[in-house]
């Protein structure tokens, strides 16, 4: 079983993670992990914190000479901003006299609910861990998972399809293949493949920032090379679509998930929504449409997996909403903790790596072994079995 645990606070000494279940002899390229961390920090509308942090992983265990040992893999990502917070975020000792406790919860954050749940007198005890800063570990974990997937020619990319009310043109995408969409998105400041929509999206972000406001967006993730048969209909918690949706909804500020045609499927007739099945030799079974988004009955069907997620506007505003001091019960304007006007392009990168983790989970559940060679044998044998049935 592949699993991970993370720990760390936004302004603490470091973010850490432990991964258990990786096979032995998997080559790990640290530059690819650091590149994913760099991608997470990009995008038009990002705030000042991104200029402070320059995330890099430091491996602590489970890796020798660039290959996994099969034992738990551990790494840390240093928080460079900890130098400015040390006394106020020290893991040991007593709090300084100028601690400046946070008692004014911010609307849209975990602040109030967490303070009541955990009986905190200082909301910082909640907001530090609830912070989206902690998505850095998710990206690093996913970046490791995608190196496993790459061995078996499974690739992922993401792109923005909407910022605020500005959407990409379906006609533009229709004239691009998946590789072109991915390449264009990587070169865009808002991670989109539509140049005209890009200009409108940038203007939307700039307008929101000028108003002291924020804006959200929708991103799409595409996974190619996925074999038929990952996931299961047998139990709800084994359904691939459910696991992908749950993982994406666990990312800060994500409020909705679609797979394939998604909500649009509810507006169409079944004859339009579902993907007809065809057959020929030597191709075998195939489809000409992918409204299912590569998943039927909770199982991958061999088509590309397509999933979208909606990110709400970041709730910390430069023109903040009213809140109530938890101690005095007086009305105040909510505190400002960060300054992103839009983080949807960064969220797309987080979502991309989160999806990679889920695909790696279900892949190892089906083809698992203690070494890469063993997994490769299992995988090759299964593909031969599928080919014989096709």
Secondary structure percentages of the chain, helix, strand, coil, to 5: 40, 20, 40
Give the pLDDT score at 86: 84
Judge whether 310 and 317 are in contact, CB under 8 Å: no
What's the token pair of residue 265?
Answer: 């499927």
Tens-digit pLDDT profile for residues 188-243: 999 999 999 999 999 999 999 999 899 999 999 999 999 999 999 999 999 999 99
Q: Give the integer Cα–Cα distance in Å for 301 and 303.
A: 6
Domains of the chain, by residue range, sit at: 3-389
SS3 68: strand
* Contacts for 210 with CB less than 8 Å, ≥ 6 apart: none
Separate counts of helices (H) and strands (E) for the chain: 12, 17
DSSP code at position 280? E
pTM, 2 dp: 0.95
Question: By the 8 A CB rule, do 293 and 299 touch?
Answer: no
Please provide the CATH number assigned to the domain covering 3-389. Answer: 3.60.150.10
pLDDT of residue 336: 67
pLDDT beneath 70: ranges in the chain:
47-53, 335-339
**How far apart are the C-alpha atoms of 136 and 251, rounded to whole Å?**
11
Closest by Cα among 354, 390, 365 to 282: 390
- Alpha carbons 65 and 49: distance in angstroms, whole number: 33
Q: What pLDDT does residue 317 have?
A: 82
Question: Helix 30-40 crosses helix 135-151 at what angle (to 10 degrees)?
Answer: 130
Beta bridge partners of 59: 75
DSSP at 24: B
């Amino acid at each position: 079983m592949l699993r991970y645990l993370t720990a760390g606070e936004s302004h603490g000494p470091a973010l850490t993670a432990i991964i258990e279940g990786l096979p032995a002899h998997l080559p790990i390229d640290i530059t690819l992990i650091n590149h994913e961390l760099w991608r997470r920090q990009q995008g038009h509308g990002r705030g000042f914190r991104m200029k402070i942090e320059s995330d890099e992983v430091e491996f602590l265990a489970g890796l020798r000479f660039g290959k996994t040992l099969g034992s738990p893999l551990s790494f840390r990502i240093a928080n460079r901003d900890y130098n400015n917070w040390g006394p106020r975020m020290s893991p040991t000792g007593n709090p300084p006299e100028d601690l400046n406790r946070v008692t004014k919860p911010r609307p849209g954050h975990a602040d109030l609910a967490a303070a009541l749940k955990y009986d905190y007198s200082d909301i910082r005890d909640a907001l530090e861990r609830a912070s989206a800063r902690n998505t850095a570990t998710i990206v690093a974990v996913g970046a490791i998972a995608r190196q496993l997937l790459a061995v078996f020619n499974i690739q992922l990319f993401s792109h923005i399809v909407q910022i605020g009310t500005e959407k990409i043109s379906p006609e533009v995408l229709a004239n691009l293949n998946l590789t072109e969409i991915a390449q264009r998105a990587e070169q865009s400041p808002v991670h989109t493949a539509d140049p005209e929509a890009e200009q409108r999206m940038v203007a939307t972000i700039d307008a929101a920032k000028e108003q002291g406001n924020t804006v959200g967006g929708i991103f799409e993730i595409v996974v190619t090379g996925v074999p038929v048969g990952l996931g299961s209909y047998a139990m709800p918690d084994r359904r691939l679509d459910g696991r992908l949706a749950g993982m994406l909804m666990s990312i800060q500020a994500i409020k909705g998930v679609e797979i394939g045609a998604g909500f649009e499927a509810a507006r169409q007739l079944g004859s339009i929504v579902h993907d007809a099945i065809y057959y020929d030799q030597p191709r075998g079974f195939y489809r000409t449409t992918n409204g299912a988004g590569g998943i039927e009955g909770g199982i991958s069907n061999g088509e590309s997996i397509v999933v979208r997620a909606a990110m709400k506007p970041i709730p910390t505003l430069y023109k903040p909403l009213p809140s109530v001091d938890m101690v005095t019960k007086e009305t105040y304007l909510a505190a400002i903790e960060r300054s992103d006007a839009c983080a949807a392009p960064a969220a797309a990168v987080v979502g991309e790596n989160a999806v990679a983790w889920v695909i790696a989970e279900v892949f190892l559940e089906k083809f698992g072994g203690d070494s890469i060679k063993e997994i490769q044998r299992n995988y090759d044998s299964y593909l031969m079995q599928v080919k014989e049935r096709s």
